[in-house]
Amino acid sequence: MNPNNCIITIKRLTGTESDKAYTSVYTDIRAMLIGADGKTQALYEMPLGTGYSFVIFNQVEKIDPADQFIVTDPMSSGLEINDILVVQGAAQRTRALGSMVTEGICLKI
Protein backbone atom coordinates (compact mmCIF):
# COMPACT_ATOMS: atom_id res chain seq x y z
CA MET A 1 0.00 0.00 0.00
CA ASN A 2 1.33 3.43 -0.93
CA PRO A 3 0.51 5.82 1.93
CA ASN A 4 1.05 8.92 -0.22
CA ASN A 5 -2.08 10.33 -1.82
CA CYS A 6 -0.85 13.58 -3.39
CA ILE A 7 2.19 15.61 -4.44
CA ILE A 8 2.69 19.09 -2.99
CA THR A 9 4.98 22.10 -3.04
CA ILE A 10 5.76 23.61 0.37
CA LYS A 11 6.07 27.39 0.63
CA ARG A 12 7.35 29.35 3.64
CA LEU A 13 6.67 32.95 4.62
CA THR A 14 9.83 35.01 4.09
CA GLY A 15 10.82 38.63 3.66
CA THR A 16 10.77 41.67 5.89
CA GLU A 17 8.07 43.28 8.03
CA SER A 18 6.97 45.50 5.13
CA ASP A 19 7.63 43.07 2.26
CA LYS A 20 6.42 39.54 3.07
CA ALA A 21 6.10 36.79 0.49
CA TYR A 22 5.85 33.01 0.26
CA THR A 23 8.89 31.23 -1.19
CA SER A 24 9.04 27.59 -2.31
CA VAL A 25 11.26 25.59 0.05
CA TYR A 26 10.38 22.04 -1.10
CA THR A 27 8.93 20.84 -4.40
CA ASP A 28 7.53 17.49 -5.56
CA ILE A 29 6.93 16.25 -2.02
CA ARG A 30 4.83 13.11 -1.68
CA ALA A 31 2.37 13.53 1.18
CA MET A 32 -0.65 11.90 2.73
CA LEU A 33 -3.49 14.36 3.36
CA ILE A 34 -6.59 13.04 5.10
CA GLY A 35 -9.69 14.98 6.11
CA ALA A 36 -9.50 15.67 9.86
CA ASP A 37 -12.21 14.24 12.10
CA GLY A 38 -14.75 16.40 13.93
CA LYS A 39 -12.83 16.35 17.24
CA THR A 40 -9.63 17.58 15.63
CA GLN A 41 -11.46 20.33 13.77
CA ALA A 42 -13.18 21.44 17.00
CA LEU A 43 -9.85 21.46 18.87
CA TYR A 44 -8.27 23.73 16.24
CA GLU A 45 -11.53 25.72 15.75
CA MET A 46 -11.72 24.90 12.03
CA PRO A 47 -14.89 25.08 9.96
CA LEU A 48 -16.10 21.54 9.19
CA GLY A 49 -14.68 20.06 6.02
CA THR A 50 -11.63 22.33 5.84
CA GLY A 51 -9.22 20.59 8.23
CA TYR A 52 -6.73 17.95 7.11
CA SER A 53 -4.17 15.80 8.86
CA PHE A 54 -0.89 15.47 6.99
CA VAL A 55 1.95 12.97 7.07
CA ILE A 56 5.19 13.42 5.11
CA PHE A 57 7.79 10.64 5.08
CA ASN A 58 11.58 11.33 5.07
CA GLN A 59 11.56 14.27 2.66
CA VAL A 60 11.60 17.45 4.76
CA GLU A 61 13.72 18.76 7.59
CA LYS A 62 11.07 20.96 9.16
CA ILE A 63 7.53 22.28 8.71
CA ASP A 64 6.74 25.66 10.30
CA PRO A 65 3.36 27.02 11.39
CA ALA A 66 1.80 29.01 8.51
CA ASP A 67 3.74 27.08 5.82
CA GLN A 68 1.59 26.56 2.74
CA PHE A 69 1.04 23.29 0.90
CA ILE A 70 0.18 23.79 -2.78
CA VAL A 71 -1.30 20.66 -4.38
CA THR A 72 0.49 19.94 -7.69
CA ASP A 73 -0.89 16.42 -8.26
CA PRO A 74 -3.99 15.47 -6.26
CA MET A 75 -3.73 11.73 -7.05
CA SER A 76 -6.29 10.03 -4.75
CA SER A 77 -6.54 12.77 -2.09
CA GLY A 78 -9.84 14.26 -3.28
CA LEU A 79 -8.21 17.68 -3.51
CA GLU A 80 -7.67 19.67 -6.71
CA ILE A 81 -4.58 21.09 -8.43
CA ASN A 82 -3.52 24.42 -6.85
CA ASP A 83 -5.56 23.89 -3.67
CA ILE A 84 -3.81 25.70 -0.81
CA LEU A 85 -3.56 24.32 2.73
CA VAL A 86 -1.93 26.22 5.61
CA VAL A 87 -0.19 24.46 8.51
CA GLN A 88 -1.87 25.09 11.88
CA GLY A 89 0.36 24.89 14.94
CA ALA A 90 3.61 23.00 15.25
CA ALA A 91 4.25 19.91 13.12
CA GLN A 92 5.84 16.93 14.88
CA ARG A 93 8.79 14.99 13.52
CA THR A 94 9.11 11.42 14.80
CA ARG A 95 10.62 8.10 13.82
CA ALA A 96 8.22 5.40 12.67
CA LEU A 97 9.26 2.01 11.26
CA GLY A 98 12.79 3.24 10.56
CA SER A 99 11.66 6.38 8.71
CA MET A 100 11.42 10.00 9.78
CA VAL A 101 7.82 11.19 9.66
CA THR A 102 6.53 14.75 9.89
CA GLU A 103 2.88 15.06 10.85
CA GLY A 104 0.42 17.76 11.80
CA ILE A 105 -2.78 19.61 10.95
CA CYS A 106 -3.48 21.99 8.07
CA LEU A 107 -6.42 24.12 6.98
CA LYS A 108 -7.69 24.34 3.39
CA ILE A 109 -8.17 27.97 2.37
Adjacent-strand bridge partners of 107: 51, 86
Q: CATH top-level class for 6-108?
A: mainly beta
- The pTM score is 0.83
The pLDDT value given to residue 1: 40
Largest CA distance in the chain: 46
- The structural domains of the chain, with segments of one domain joined by +, span 6-108
Q: Which band of pLDDT confidence, cut at 50, 70 and 90, is reported for residue 87?
A: very high
Q: Give dist(CA 43, CA 41) in Å, integer.
A: 5
Of 25, 87, 81, 78, nearest to 55 by C-alpha is: 87
- pLDDT tens sequence across 25-64: 999 999 999 887 767 667 767 666 678 889 998 778 889 9
DSSP-assigned beta bridge partners for residue 92: 103
Query: In a 3-state reduction of DSSP, which class is residue 47?
Result: coil
